[in-house]
Amino acid sequence: MNKNTIIISIVSVLGTFLLLFGVYKLVNQPVVTDFSQAKQLKANDHTKWSSDKKNVLIEYSDFQCPACKNAHNVLKAIEASGSADFEITKKVTFVYRHFPLTQIHDKANVAAYAAEAAGKQDKFWEMTDLLFDNQQTWKESNNPQEKDFINYAKELKLDLEKFKKDIDSSEVKNKVAEDLREAEQMGVSSTPTFFLNGQKVEVNSFDEFKKMLKNL
């Protein structure tokens, strides 16, 4: 074996080793399970329940998503007066963030804008209730922004001119886009997705979900 052959063999072995090492590092990258974005509250977050922020439950949701409507109904049942699960609201701070699945829900964005516009007049949660309660109606509407959402704004006694201005504002649209972008960075791909104290919630039923929150 001449000198050139030996050098080529060494280079080939080193190349193979580096390739295998690179694959090993790629495959064995640590999986991030604790997300700072889902721990820290933002100034423009919508929150309710406990004010102490000891346990933070963040939901990424889509107003046009049927599963999100079901989750909304569960959350409303938890906070209802006389609920057997009402104790949860005393130790959990609930945060709603937007994740409109526009690929399959063509009106999810504008519904999120309507909620944010109502929030400008301190009626975010009330508009959220109306959007979920009437989901079947407005999702089939040709122009929910000019028809259904204006009617909901009237029902909530909002300043209609301000509502119309805010629903089309860059501030409102940027808020929704910011929520979406952060969720995508954490690997969110479906709704509803919940994070509790920075960790993604993995449960098989709403009963498990409520039990987990009760045991905090």
Let me know: does 41 contact 95? Beta carbons within 8 Å. Answer: yes
Residue 10: pLDDT above 90? no
Give me the sheet containing 199-200, strands edge to edge: 46-49, 93-98, 56-61, 193-196, 199-200
Instruction: Identify any residues that bridge with 59 across adjacent strands, giving them in sequence order.
Output: 96, 194
- Could you tell me how many residues make up the chain? 216
Full-model pTM: 0.84
Instruction: Classify the C-alpha dihedral 44-90-205-65 as positive or negative.
Output: negative
Half-sphere exposure of 23 (CA within 13 A, CB side): 5
Name the residue among 95, 97, 98, 99 with its Cα closest to residue 57.
95
Mean pLDDT of the chain: 89
For the segment 148-191, what is each residue's pLDDT rounded down to a tens digit?
Answer: 999 999 999 999 999 999 999 999 999 999 999 999 999 999 99
pLDDT value at residue 29: 39
Residue 26: pLDDT above 60? no
For the segment 76-132, what is each residue's pLDDT rounded down to a tens digit?
Answer: 999 999 999 999 999 999 999 999 999 999 999 999 999 999 999 999 999 999 999
48 sits in the region (left: phi over 0; alpha: psi -120 to 50; else beta) called beta
pLDDT value at residue 207: 96
Q: How confident is the model at residue 216 (pLDDT cuts 50, 70, 90)?
A: very high
